[in-house]
């Protein structure tokens, strides 16, 4: 009996005939036309080492899919890498490229009416962009996370991209030489894959598995390791079976799945960027859920069970060896929604039944946690009526607070220059605005400002408040990011003036601007134009269509 495949919906007309001609020229047989047609979505690029191995993975994945009785078509998407494609237009192409990935996939996979897809996830924006496409298209989809890069050593100590990133902030203050930075850069990355620490990429790889959209036990994984290649073979077989079973993303991306993902994010002290990305995935999957509220709900419930660099001293290699994401979920099992369905066709409970944690120092049991305070904290208040977000370290206490006068900068570069020139003093609140999704547009990155604060010796002595985003590796003092509403849409952060008192209390989850409503109304009336960007092309489209934080900052339908 012939499979019921949407790729075979037409037969005998002109479109069928011309597609048959094109595919016959590629070497497909008439027998192939009756097989499932699987997209291998390869978000690859020569611009960054995180993608350098994806072409080899795509080739092996196609072989595995063909061996399982289907036809594989490789398709490409844009491939942003934060440390490379953040240079242009104030970093506006970073977050906005996530939505380009989603649309690239839709155009190719939905346009061709393929039957399923394996998405090769690597750097920060590829996992959420691919998950968003999965939710939108709702065809059988498996997210294959392509692994982390090995790091090196410098002066007898581990040296990875996080170390280079953080240390370079001290260059302007004479705390490190250019030769030292070059020496660290030469050894920090020893092979392909994503940044080695628990930054946004590895955090979102873990989220893919926690959601049930990646194979159990497959995150994190050392890129190009024998274990990774074994999972490639498993993934090729499984996606074909998923097409036969008609197992679709919206069967998996339920409220329970997102609750599990949020709990894992809190448990591993993941990147704060996970909140907006998971929110976007939920929106595309048609799951009516407030992800930010979920983080608030579980913040004081979920213990910290691991501390992977830069949160602690554990390496990603040690985390993988201890059990990785599956090991975390095994330890966290009593809290999880164990009945959630996964791409295996089994429940989470069934997937976890045979999991054993190999090292309970690297992945602690819940009876012996590293801490019980949340490291991803949502703040609200008169400065951030919708939300804002703070990342704390594993050892940092949650009772951080600061009340002080604002010193306002309109761009990240102005803020860095001001810090270097001594315009920022202890006890002040550094406000950097105009970095939101509409203001940049595309959402600028404020991490360099945080590292300027660190380099100036002001970490823990000042606070930083911004409507921009941070790198998933940033974790210094009180830094309040993604303040919403942003300045460009009239949010209170756009009304702050030098000297205004801002009060931040992490324990109380508040961020307040101590200015009367009457005064704010007067200031608001004087501003005729919030966004002064003059963009053309993709960033102009993004600025005009991007939705607010509550909708995951996806594009308006």
Active site residues: 471
CA–CA distance from 297 to each of 8, 263, 311, 383, 535 (Å)?
A: 46, 10, 22, 21, 39
Q: Rounded CA gap, 189 and 151, in Å?
A: 5
As a whole number of angstroms, the distance between CA 131 and CA 121 comes to 10
> Could you tell me how many residues make up the chain?
557
Q: Look-up: residue for tokens 């209390």? A: 505
Q: Are 383 and 461 in contact (CB under 8 A)?
A: no
- Element holding 94 (H helix, E strand): helix 93-105
Q: Where are the beta strands (DSSP E) in 21-161?
A: 37-42, 71-76, 116-121, 141-145, 152-154, 157-159
Please list, in sequence order, all residues whose beta carbon lies within 8 angstroms of the beta carbon of residue 395, skipping any fewer than 6 positions away.
312, 371
What is the chain's percent helix, strand, coil content, to nearest 5? 40, 15, 45
Total H helices, total E strands in the chain: 20, 14
Alpha helices in 188-311 (DSSP H): 200-211, 226-245, 249-252, 255-267, 273-284, 291-298
Contact 194, 290 (CB under 8 A): no
Rounded-to-integer distance, Cα 203 and Cα 322, Å: 16
Give the three-state DSSP class for 410: coil
Mention every residue, 6+ apart, whose C-beta is less than 8 A from residue 409: 415, 418, 430, 431, 432, 433
Per the CB < 8 A criterion, the answer to whether 270 and 179 are in contact is: no
What order do you get walking across the sheet with 116-121 strand by strand?
Answer: 71-76, 37-42, 116-121, 141-145
């Amino acid at each position: 009996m012939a499979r019921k495949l949407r790729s075979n919906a037409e037969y005998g007309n002109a479109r069928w005939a011309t597609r048959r001609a094109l595919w016959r020229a590629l070497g497909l047989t008439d027998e192939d036309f009756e097989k499932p047609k699987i997209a291998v979505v390869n978000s690859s690029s020569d611009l960054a080492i995180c993608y350098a191995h994806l072409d080899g993975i795509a080739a092996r994945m196609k072989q595995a899919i063909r061996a399982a009785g289907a036809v594989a078509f490789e398709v490409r998407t844009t491939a942003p890498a934060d440390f490379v494609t953040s240079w242009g237009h104030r970093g506006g192409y970073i977050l906005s490229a996530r939505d380009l990935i989603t649309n690239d996939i839709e155009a190719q996979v939905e346009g061709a009416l393929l039957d399923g897809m394996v998405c090769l996830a690597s750097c920060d924006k590829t996992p959420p962009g691919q998950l968003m496409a999965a939710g939108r298209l709702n065809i059988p989809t498996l997210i294959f996370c392509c692994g982390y890069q090995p790091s090196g050593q410098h002066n007898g100590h581990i040296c990875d991209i996080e170390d280079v990133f953080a240390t370079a902030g001290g260059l302007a203050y004479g705390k490190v030489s250019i030769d030292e930075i070059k020496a660290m850069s030469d050894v920090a990355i020893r092979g392909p894959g994503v940044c080695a620490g628990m930054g946004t990429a590895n955090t979102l790889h873990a989220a893919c598995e926690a959601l049930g959209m990646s194979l159990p036990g497959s995150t994190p994984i050392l890129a190009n390791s024998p274990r990774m290649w074994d999972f490639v073979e498993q993934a090729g077989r499984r996606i074909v079976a998923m097409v036969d079973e008609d197992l679709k993303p919206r069967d998996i991306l339920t409220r329970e799945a997102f609750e599990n993902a949020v709990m894992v994010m809190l448990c591993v002290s993941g990147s704060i960027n996970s909140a907006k990305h998971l929110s976007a995935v939920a929106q595309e999957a048609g799951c009516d859920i407030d992800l930010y509220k979920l983080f608030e709900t579980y913040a004081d419930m979920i213990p910290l069970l691991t501390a992977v660099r830069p949160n602690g001293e554990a390496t990603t290699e040690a985390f993988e060896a201890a059990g990785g994401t599956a090991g975390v979920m095994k330890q966290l099992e009593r809290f999880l929604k164990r009945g959630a369905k996964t791409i295996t066709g089994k429940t989470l409970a069934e997937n976890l039944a045979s999991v054993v944690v190999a090292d309970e120092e690297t992945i602690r049991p819940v009876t012996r946690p590293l801490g019980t305070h949340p490291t991803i904290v949502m703040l609200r208040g008169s400065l951030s009526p919708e939300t804002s977000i703070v990342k704390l370290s594993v050892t940092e206490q949650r009772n951080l607070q600061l009340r002080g006068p604002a010193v306002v900068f309109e761009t990240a570069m102005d803020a860095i220059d001001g810090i270097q020139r001594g315009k920022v003093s202890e006890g002040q609140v550094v406000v950097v605005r105009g970095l939101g999704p509409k203001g940049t547009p595309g959402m600028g990155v404020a991490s360099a400002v945080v590292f300027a604060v660190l380099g100036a010796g002001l970490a823990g002595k000042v606070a930083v408040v911004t409507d921009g985003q941070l790198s998933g590796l940033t974790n210094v003092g009180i830094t309040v990011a993604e303040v919403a509403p942003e300045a460009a849409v009239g949010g209170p952060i756009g009304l702050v003036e030098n000297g205004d008192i801002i009060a931040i209390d992490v324990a109380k989850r508040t961020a307040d601007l101590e200015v009367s409503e009457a005064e704010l109304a007067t200031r608001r009336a004087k501003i005729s134009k919030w966004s002064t960007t003059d963009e053309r092309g993709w960033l102009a489209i993004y600025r005009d269509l991007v939705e607010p934080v509550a909708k995951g900052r996806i594009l308006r339908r």
